[in-house]
Amino acid sequence: MAKYIYERPNWTNFVWDARLILANLTRLAGQQGRLLGKMQQFGFGLQQEAMFNALAEEITKSSEIEGEILNSEQVRLSLARQLNLNFAGKTIASRHIDGVVSVLLDATRNYAKKLDNQRLFGWHAALFPTGYSGLRKIKVADFRREGMQIVSTKNNHDVVYYEAPEPRQVPKLMKDFLRWLNAHDNENDLLKAAISHLWFVIIHPFDDGNGRLTRAISDMLLARAENTSLRFYSLSAQIQKEKKEYYRILEKTTTGANDITEWLIWFFASLGRAIENSENLTAGVLRKAAFWQKNSVAIPDEKQRQIINLLFAGFQGNLTSGKVEKICKVSQDTATRLLQNLAAKGFLKVVGAGRGTHYVL
């Protein structure tokens, strides 16, 4: 008796309840349309900033799902540089973070481009520029050559939740997957995003990075469904919030039959919640726009404007005169004077005293 879905005959002939799925797709298309319509009311600059926030969230949360915490300031710095946007940061992005950022940008900006082995291997190499995952040497830019198990320790015992297809099967399985993915058929791209997510996870073609790559593929197909590289929500951020349920539904589906209705409904519901929660990502941008519309004349100094924008961008940690000195490239005295002047005008609030003095909006 088959233990995993791929052990069943013709397992990729996925089936689902068409009536239920059509209702979900119709609702999602409406949500996407309303969000894009809302964002089109704002100028190009605000759209770029909202997209920047959403992409930064997508990059950090996709890695966080896998237990890897990326430096958010480095992510934003790398993202700004690769998008040719201004970003005031006090750090330098690592080669690894540059690679992670480049994968998502390629997926969402070149969404109409064919995905083949060469492009997929390029993504994988960008995720692991040193050839190591932590301290472990892995096969980079090529399919795995060894077995793959998803294992967790429970009550001091290793529990195998999933065992991927044998490595000798992977090239053929990926050939079939990519042929389907690139086919110019009439299949809905939202539906394709959900199916591709599951299909890629089932194959688990690489030594590591499979989760991040499957979410990049989903992002590519979501951009294709919306016919735009502009992204104002983060699916990975929503999955991170629902990680326990995400893994539960994946485990259930990968060990079940080829009726994937339950997986599709969960995926579409999670995506819908991600779109609803996009207001959290755009609210800061709109607050910033409203602030400058009201106060641009009152803060003519460019360094002070840089400080305010830094805080609106979600500056990590406490904003002190020492940090402003480095970020704005001014003397300690000038940094202190800039901050005290903004506080005197009522734009910043002084918190703490002595060495612990810092400023908030």
Mark whether 257 and 333 lie in a shared domain: no
Mark whether 248 and 311 lie in a shared domain: no
Mark whether 74 and 125 lie in a shared domain: yes
In contact, 324 and 316? CB cutoff 8 Å: no
Mark whether 141 and 25 lie in a shared domain: yes
Phi-psi region of 314 (alpha: psi -120 to 50; beta: other; left: phi over 0): left
Count other Cβ atoms within 10 Å, centred on residue 71: 16
Mark whether 254 and 313 lie in a shared domain: no
Which residue type sits at 163?
Answer: E
Mark whether 332 and 206 lie in a shared domain: no
pLDDT score at 310: 81
pLDDT score at 355: 81
Does the model's pTM come out above 0.85?
A: no
Mark whether 45 and 159 lie in a shared domain: yes
Q: What number of CA atoms fall less than 13 Å from residue 289's CA on the CB side?
A: 14
| Predicted confidence (pLDDT) per residue in 64-115, tens digit | 999 999 999 899 999 999 999 876 565 688 999 999 999 999 999 999 999 9
Domain boundary among 228, 248, 276: 276
Strand residue runs (E) in the chain? 132-133, 136-137, 149-154, 157-163, 349-351, 358-360
Per-residue tokens: 11:
């397992």
Is 290 among the domain residues? no
Residue 3: pLDDT over 70: yes
Is 33 among the domain residues? yes
Residue 174: pLDDT over 80: yes
Mark whether 120 and 184 lie in a shared domain: yes
Q: Find where tokens 């940090």 sit.
A: 323
| Predicted confidence (pLDDT) per residue in 12-46, tens digit | 999 999 999 999 999 999 999 998 888 888 888 88
**What's 340's domain CATH number?**
1.10.10.10
pLDDT score at 86: 74
Question: CA triplet 151, 147, 249: central angle to 5 degrees?
Answer: 45
Residue 121: pLDDT over 90: yes
CA distance 221 to 183: 13
In contact, 254 and 30? CB cutoff 8 Å: no
Mark whether 257 and 301 lie in a shared domain: no
Count of domains observed in the chain: 2
Mark whether 219 and 308 lie in a shared domain: no
CA distance 75 to 147: 32
Task: Quote the domain boundaries for residue 209.
Answer: 5-276
CA distance 96 to 77: 13
Domain boundary among 248, 276, 304: 276
Is 328 among the domain residues? yes
Mark whether 321 and 228 lie in a shared domain: no
Residue 286: pLDDT over 80: no
**What's 217's domain CATH number?**
1.10.3290.10
Mark whether 112 and 220 lie in a shared domain: yes
Is 291 among the domain residues? no
